Amino acid sequence: MKRHYGQTKAQRQADWLAQFTDALLARVPRLAGHIDWDAARYYYLHGTLVADAVDQYIIARNIET
């Protein structure tokens, strides 16, 4: 995970979640408003790269793209 000096933990998490949301909705636009934020935070807290987290999220929920 890339370090962002000068940002708080909350800002780093918010940035990661925004990137996750953008990447997920680019692949599956119909998920707008239906993201499982607990799952997204799980991927963030485990240091998963955004692209990998999106792939894992889609696979774990059997979402067709």
Q: In what helix (H) or strand (E) does residue 51 lie, and over which residues does it extend?
A: helix 50-60
pTM for the complete prediction? 0.88
Per-residue pLDDT band for 3 (boundaries 50, 70, 90) equals: low
Task: Measure the N-to-C terminal CA separation of the chain; round to a whole number of Å.
Answer: 26
Evaluate if residue 1 carries a pLDDT over 60. no
The per-residue pLDDT for range 24-61, each reduced to its tens digit, is: 999 999 999 999 999 999 999 999 999 999 999 999 99
Cα(37)–Cα(6) distance, rounded to whole angstroms? 25
